[in-house]
Amino acid sequence: MTGLLIRGAEVGGTLLDVRIGRGQVLQTGRGLPRASRDERLVDARGGALVPGLTDHHLHLFATAADLASSSCAPSTVRDEEGLARALRGARPDRHGWVRGVRYHESVAGDLDAARLDSLRGEVPVRVQHRSGALWMLNSRAVEAVGLATADHPGVERDTSGRPTGRLWRADAWLRDRLPPGEPPSLAGLGRRLARYGITSVTDATPDLDEATVSVVTEAMARGELPQRVHLLGAPLTGGTPAPSPGRPRPQPGPWKIVLADSALPGYEELAEAIVAAHRAGRRVAVHCVTREALLLLLVVLEEVGTLPGDRLEHASLVPPEVLPTIRRLGLRTVTQPGFLADRGDDYRRDTPADEHDDLYRCASLREAGVPLALSSDAPYGPLDPWAVMRAAVERRTGSGAVLGPGERLTPAQALDGYLSPAQRPGGPAAPIRPGVPADLVLLHAHLAQVLPRLDASWVRLVLIGGSPAASAPPA
């Protein structure tokens, strides 16, 4: 396109015209004339123009696969009969497999091969727990992947040594034993993210190989994934080519380290992993869900030191007494309050009442001076950033209970959690001024109208590098 002039947009509380060209903001001011008859003109009608949103923690391929899978979530499948209908109604893929996602035991209890056989046994079936940590396979799937002779530590076995069909934290192992196939297309996910106003994403999948990085690179080059991409799992050496003019490429983010709640690493093992990342010039992004994992990490970081930009991922349970330590170590926090709306009643039941305020802290982290960014953790949490913002403001569970009312953010703070740049989660939003990349979202109304009702329907036009990635008719 030859250029774009947005007239009468609210920018930082002021009505301005914004001229865009060559992928960046060229000019801001009032009463700007059209540069040429070819310049596209958009009347903002006072709608807010804000930096593009960043989802600071999601899983691209898992989310794309989730969109093409059969939902087994409690919100769509209520009981064992409903689960059976969902699995029997699912169309097998071209290799004859059925894939279910987002299962929780509140639907029909713990699933193993025998239970899944009773629900659908004539084809291989695999169902992923909504935590992402567990796969449950029926007998045909168990046989197909050779689970009986597997030596992976995540293979659950009964007292006689036979596999139960339950496989913990073994995504890469399982992927290598599934029928060969192409990775799921990212095109549909890219479009959906753009409609939400997301112009940048950080993929949090650990330990990516160069082939996977190449698939992301090609999806970006073809425009299927228009967002800018940072990869926490990019190889420590190589794997992400240097940017070149006119060709978008994923960039390495901090190095992802998973502190699995089922099997924490030893002190020395964790220290070595952090030091190795730092020596390679990478910050670390450490998956911390439990108190024990967080405390172990803080003790190790006290010993080996931190780099500016080291991150806590999830920070699902944060005791108040460690807030000063997190601040002193200079850590940034990327958390997912969307889980409170999605799973909050499970937390109320399964987490001691005196720990409810510790769940997905937001306000106290900000007050302690810890940079705080919000994210989805999709497909394990809700993908819609506006739903995550609402959850950060309301902190309501599905039944309407409030978890940690003192941790509520204001609507403006919740929006800020998505406006911070991918390179500096929790930092200030990039200013809209000449010379900055034109990654922008135009809303249907000014912020005073938008903030009381945080919703994706406000998104009118989304620009990534100055090019429209999504648009909607005026409300």
Domain carrying residue 328: 54-60+184-430
Domain of 171, CATH number, reads: 3.10.310.70
- Give residue 273's Cα distance to chain centre: 23
Tokens in use for 119? Answer: 């629900």
Task: Answer yes or no: do 292 and 347 share one domain.
Answer: yes
Q: Does some domain include residue 47?
A: no
Of the three residues 430, 446, 463, the one that is the final residue of a domain is: 430
Task: Answer yes or no: do 113 and 201 share one domain.
Answer: no
DSSP 286: E
Domain of 391, CATH number, reads: 3.20.20.140
pTM: 0.88
Q: What is the DSSP string of 262-283?
A: TSPPPHHHHHHHHHHHHHTT--
Task: Answer yes or no: do 160 and 242 share one domain.
Answer: no
Task: Answer yes or no: do 226 and 252 share one domain.
Answer: yes
Q: Does some domain include residue 391?
A: yes
Q: Does some domain include residue 40?
A: no
Of the three residues 118, 149, 177, the one that is the final residue of a domain is: 177
Give pLDDT, residue 475.
34
Digit-coded pLDDT (tens) for 1-46: 579 999 999 999 999 999 999 999 999 999 999 999 999 999 999 9
Give pLDDT, residue 260.
86
**Are residues 28 and 13 in contact, defined by beta-carbon separation less than 8 angstroms?**
no
Task: Answer yes or no: do 297 and 213 share one domain.
Answer: yes
Q: Does some domain include residue 25?
A: no
Burial class of 390 by CB neighbour count within 10 A (0 to 12, 13 to 18, 19+)? buried
Q: Does some domain include residue 46?
A: no
Give pLDDT, residue 385.
98
Task: Answer yes or no: do 198 and 171 share one domain.
Answer: no
Task: Answer yes or no: do 278 and 366 share one domain.
Answer: yes
Task: Answer yes or no: do 113 and 197 share one domain.
Answer: no
Low-confidence ranges of the chain (pLDDT < 70): 1, 238-246, 471-475
Q: Buried (b) or exposed (e) across 145-177, using 16+ Cβ within 10 A?
A: bebeebeeebbeeeeeeebbbbbbbbbebbeee
Distance in angstroms (rounded) separating the CA atoms of residues 48 and 447:
6
Q: Does some domain include residue 85?
A: yes
Q: Does some domain include residue 470?
A: no
| Pairing between β-strand 70-71 and β-strand 98-103 as defined by DSSP bridges | parallel
Total structural domains within the chain: 2
- Tally Cβ neighbours within 10 Å of residue 357: 16
Give pLDDT, residue 94.
85
Task: Answer yes or no: do 121 and 240 share one domain.
Answer: no
Of the three residues 155, 177, 199, the one that is the final residue of a domain is: 177
Task: Answer yes or no: do 277 and 418 share one domain.
Answer: yes
Task: Answer yes or no: do 341 and 406 share one domain.
Answer: yes
Give pLDDT, residue 244.
54
- Tally Cβ neighbours within 10 Å of residue 30: 10
Digit-coded pLDDT (tens) for 55-105: 999 999 999 989 989 999 898 899 999 999 999 999 998 899 999 999 999
Tell which residue, 472, 422, 469, has the closest CA to residue 187: 469
Task: Answer yes or no: do 235 and 120 share one domain.
Answer: no
Q: Does some domain include residue 11?
A: no
